[in-house]
Chain A
Amino acid sequence: MKPVQILDSAQIDITLTRLCHELIENHGDFSSAAIVGLQPRGIYPAQRITERLKKMTGVDHIRHGALDITFHRDDFRRKAEPPVPGETRLDFEIEGLNVVLVDDVLFTGRTIRAGLDALLAFGRPERVELLAFIDRRFSRHLPVQPDYTGRAVDSISTERVAVDWVETEGADRVTLYSVAD
């Protein structure tokens, strides 16, 4: 199968704006909220969303962090190589906050499970929500569902969704491709 582009740069822009509106609807001025991107790839949409929220709400300080889940994964020693840890940066207390976890692609749900464990090591948030920029439906291994979805994608197990960002790949785009061939 040839790779299929699902979203281009302009569509990604619209989707991010729509997600921001949904977040503002629920969190107002973000005085008791925090946006936390999951390493390694959730930090890019989290960063974009935070910057956009600041512009849209006029609030200059929105809590924003990055969370690495490597040491909480359930596949340690099931892979040939130990997974590479990324940086965790949470320079605020999460106790009592409404935390929005952000990841680029929600697939089996295992990363989110590990992310919840990693997050709770920092305290007890009031509420945790999940924002998935891409939700690959029908592929869940665990009962995890997003509260905010950028785009739902129905795909079979041999397919993968690649989310590219200007920061890392030089362009914003979402592509569906097959790993079978």
Chain B
Amino acid sequence: MSSLSTPHLLGIKDLSPEDIGQIFSVADNFKEVINRPIKKVPSLRDITIANLFFENSTRTKLSFELAEKRLSADVINFSSSSSSVSKGETLIDTVNNILAMKVDMVVMRHPKPGAPHFLSRHVDAVIVNAGDGTHEHPTQALLDAYSIRENLGSVSGKKVVIIGDILHSRVALSNIFCLQKIGAEVMVCGPATLIPKHIAELGVQVSHNLREALNWCDVANVLRIQLERQEMAYFPSLREYTMMFGIDKRLLESLKKEITVMHPGPVNRGVEIASDAADSGQSIILKQVENGVAVRMAVLYLLAGKIERKG
């Protein structure tokens, strides 16, 4: 087995299709591990990982932390609300201070796009991007594609529509890169104000008609409206958004075929997706969460394998 072609996981953009295939195959093994009575292996017992979250996160942070602990790594956590960042320290200083405590890997979420890329050029640690602003969220895209592969057998040749706030979504961009690299067709669907102007240049189709998009696809990945990132009104009201782009059971049942429904969370029930659709048999939302731990274990394991052993 060859190792990953990159020393960090900054974005899906840097990964080759072979890298993605390798991550999936190792994730299969970890999925078996996390279903054992003792869900822990000793692979990373001499690795220390810092989780630096400069932006709020529940699911991703817990998922990474669990993945790290199940690999036996030592874990330290840091969130910006309780840190010296608010006292004026620069990002490089903050991270170098943490690395001085002998940390090998940094998992970072940051509100600024490109922050992990910047960090990877200036500090001596393996960097894993856990979301940088509106740019990329590579592990989410990997676990989404992994869940499609698990549910439908493969990703290649499948049609996936990403619905909602594409403009503010790092999940959308990473998903587009990831799905295209492994051979899926991608469409984005949402109100014109929430779809970036030149997104078609990435080779994705654009639709503003939800029913049409759902009838085209095998998988619908529904995104949350990121009100916290919207500095102006992109649509008249949430109620109008729900009427135009919300998914419910009745809509799913009126389609020509049964599609798979995904959501990266957190779900705003009753806005982008109704409870009867989110909890239906077509939804794999909770499987995505389970797969998230296995996929993150695979990423950390493969990247840690490249860290030089001291002593």
Contact = CB atoms under 8 A, between A and B. Distances in A.
A85 B309 contact: no
B305 A121 contact: no
Interface string A75-103: 01110011111011000000000000000
B3 interface: yes
B26 A85 contact: yes
A81 B304 contact: no
A138 interface: no
A121 B301 contact: no
Nearest to A124: B37
B68 to A, nearest CB: 14
B309 A78 contact: yes
B42 A81 contact: no
A72 B302 contact: no
B41 A72 contact: yes
Contacts of A84: 1
B37 A122 contact: yes
B29 interface: yes
A157 to B, nearest CB: 23
Contacts of B198: none
**Size bracket of the A interface:** 10 to 19
B233 interface: no
A68 B37 contact: no
B307 interface: yes
B309 to A, nearest CB: 5
Contacts of B32: 87-88
Q: Is the interface of A mostly helix, strand, loop or mixed?
A: loop
A78 B3 CA distance: 14
B93 to A, nearest CB: 29
A70 B29 contact: yes
Contacts of A87: 29, 32
A123 interface: yes
A127 B277 CA distance: 50
Contacts of B308: 77
Interface in B35-64: 36-38, 40-43, 46
A121 B36 contact: yes
A123 B42 CA distance: 16
B86 interface: no
A117 interface: yes
B33 interface: yes
Contacts of A88: 29, 32-33
B309 A72 contact: no
A71 B33 contact: yes
B41 A81 contact: no
Nearest to A84: B1
B36 A77 contact: no
A70 B26 CA distance: 11
A9 to B, nearest CB: 31
Given A78-B309, A82-B305, A71 B3 contact: no
A70 B41 CA distance: 9
B46 to A, nearest CB: 8
Given A81-B1, A121-B36, A122-B36, A68 B29 contact: yes
Q: Most B CB atoms within 10 A — which of A76, A83, A84?
A: A76
Contacts of B40: 121
Q: Lowest 4 CB-CB distances: which A-B pairs, in order?
A: A82-B305, A71-B41, A84-B1, A121-B38
Given A71-B33, A82-B301, A85-B26, 10 more contacts: A77-B305, A81-B1, A81-B305, A82-B1, A82-B305, A87-B32, A117-B42, A120-B38, A121-B33, A121-B36
30 contacts: A68-B29, A70-B29, A71-B33, A71-B43, A71-B71, A71-B301, A72-B42, A72-B43, A76-B305, A77-B304, A81-B1, A81-B305, A82-B301, A82-B305, A85-B26, A85-B29, A87-B32, A88-B29, A88-B32, A88-B33, A117-B42, A120-B38, A121-B36, A121-B37, A121-B40, A121-B41, A122-B36, A122-B37, A122-B38, A123-B37
